[in-house]
Amino acid sequence: MSAKNDEKCGMLKSMKERNTDWLYDFFEFDKNNEVNRVGFNDAHMRCVAMLIKKLQELGMTVTYDHALNVRGTIGDGAKSLAILSHADSAKDAGQYDGLAGVVAGILTTQKILELKKEILADMNLNVVITGLEEVERFGVGCISSKILSGDITDEQLDRIKDKDGITVREALVTAEETLLKHLDRLSAKPIKKVDNIVGKSEIDHALEMHIEFGSALTREGADIGVVDEIAAVHRFGIDAQGEPAHPGTPMDERVDAALAANMLYTDLHRIAKGEGNLLTQLLTETSDWNLATSMPSVSQLYDARLFAPWTHERMQEEVSKLIERVEKETGVKITSNILSTSETKIMPEEGVQRLMGATKKAGLKVSSKPCKSEGGHDIVRFPSQKPGMIFVPKKGRLHHPSETMKEESLHHAASVMTEYAKDIEMD
């Protein structure tokens, strides 16, 4: 038997001993396989159907809504805890972003049922799979949780389109049909469709687990990082309009759009990095060009991730100041337009401390300081009174086939969330 087969058999044996051999259906740990569960496609809906089947096997009642948010519920108590994440992925991505958070919620449910089922007499436990989180297909992130929170209106479902001209509403109809077909193939129980899977004040506590964005936990040797702030996302466009010039034109006589755009990027990058924020140039487009003249215009798309005290208003003020200076220096006409914004999410201090305490009660090492999340997350808009978030270590790059994590990290997250559930039971 090959070393690879030995490794697989050892992994399956370990999972079986823990009664978690079903994990292998979702992951092959530390295997760098491309994943394409993109925006309601067949692979995405097949994965969601498998997750729903597992929720039902745990005895959870499953409902879904018109945004394809899914909720599994068990327990009769008045207190409520929701564990949420998403199952879609970016294109050619890694296996663990998003999906690992849902699986950790299922593991937490299983752990509570096995270790302390009486918790469910005092609370209802929920695992939520949000319908669509990634920005890949429609250019808008967290679409399904935004529909749930009312941040995306019914009218916008017909206005937001993918590159093929398919609206969000049309995609939801097709995806629902695909999901139900996969559930039927799995012989899953029928699931009930509701207007919204949760009401605005129905859920007390909500948790989301995510793999870390960088590698701070891995470097520190920490098992868990508790998130105390989620970045604001500020997307904006820049259009620089210059004049075409022959390559022999003296440099100081040119109105060079490329130069102006590059000056802006350099200064924006410097400001963002110096203040602990992040800036990404997502796209650069140029006007028709040839080998006889310089580019007359350049358009750029930027994504800024901002932490307090920065706001999108302050970022746009900085952009305006830079534009004014670069226009004076280059003669290029520059305009800027805001495409989308969100506010920084500061996690309640009580919840941060409670998660740190739960990590210690689980016998795990928590990071020496709270983590900042650079991503957009469904927890920001999910309707709950007391949101919380934890990171687990990963290796490789996020949204990339090199993205890997250890199976043990899922169990660590489930242990922390179980301790958290025990703690709120005592409130």
Q: Quick one: pLDDT at residue 119?
A: 78
Within this chain, do residues 253 and 161 fall inside the same structural domain, yes or no? no
From 316, 341, 366, the end of a domain falls on: 341
pLDDT at 29 over 50: no
Within this chain, do residues 80 and 99 fall inside the same structural domain, yes or no? yes
CA 286 – CA 368 distance, rounded (Å): 46
Which CA distances in Å does 190 have to 21, 59, 412? 25, 13, 32
Give, to the nearest 10 degrees, the angle between helix 42-57 and helix 99-115.
10
Burial of 208 (0-12, 13-18, 19+ CB in 10 A): buried
Within this chain, do residues 178 and 225 fall inside the same structural domain, yes or no? yes
Within this chain, do residues 177 and 315 fall inside the same structural domain, yes or no? no
Look up the domain containing 352 and give its range.
3-230+345-425
205: β partners: 81, 386
Calculate the average pLDDT of the chain. 90
CATH of the domain at 278: 3.30.70.360
Picking from 154, 22, 9, 74, the residue whose alpha carbon sits closest to that of residue 1 is: 9
From 306, 341, 376, the end of a domain falls on: 341
The mean per-residue pLDDT over the stretch 186-213 comes to 94
Q: Which position has the higher pLDDT, 258 or 96? A: 258
From 315, 341, 367, the end of a domain falls on: 341
CA 269 – CA 278 distance, rounded (Å): 8
pLDDT at 308 over 80: yes
The mean per-residue pLDDT over the stretch 315-342 comes to 94
Within this chain, do residues 161 and 21 fall inside the same structural domain, yes or no? yes
Secondary structure class of 92 (helix, strand, coil): coil
pLDDT at 179 over 60: yes
| Sheet of 297-306, strands arranged across | 278-286, 297-306, 232-241, 333-341
The percent of residues in the chain predicted with pLDDT above 90, rounded, is 68
Count of domains in the chain? 2
Q: Quick one: pLDDT at residue 290?
A: 66
Within this chain, do residues 172 and 126 fall inside the same structural domain, yes or no? yes
Q: Quick one: pLDDT at residue 96?
A: 83
CATH of the domain at 127: 3.40.630.10
pLDDT at 348 over 80: yes
Within this chain, do residues 15 and 50 fall inside the same structural domain, yes or no? yes
**Lowest mean per-residue pLDDT among 79-83, 341-345, 373-377, 396-400:** 396-400
Q: Which position has the higher pLDDT, 254 or 115? A: 254
pLDDT at 337 over 50: yes
Picking from 378, 380, 382, 408, the residue whose alpha carbon sits closest to that of residue 393 is: 408
CA 401 – CA 96 distance, rounded (Å): 10
Q: Quick one: pLDDT at residue 294?
A: 79
Picking from 98, 113, 79, 123, the residue whose alpha carbon sits closest to that of residue 35 is: 98
114, containing H or E segment: helix 99-115
Within this chain, do residues 95 and 223 fall inside the same structural domain, yes or no? yes
Within this chain, do residues 254 and 177 fall inside the same structural domain, yes or no? no
Within this chain, do residues 20 and 112 fall inside the same structural domain, yes or no? yes
Within this chain, do residues 193 and 304 fall inside the same structural domain, yes or no? no
Within this chain, do residues 138 and 201 fall inside the same structural domain, yes or no? yes
Q: Which position has the higher pLDDT, 107 or 122? A: 107
Q: Which position has the higher pLDDT, 22 or 62? A: 62
Q: Quick one: pLDDT at residue 1?
A: 46
Q: Quick one: pLDDT at residue 105?
A: 97
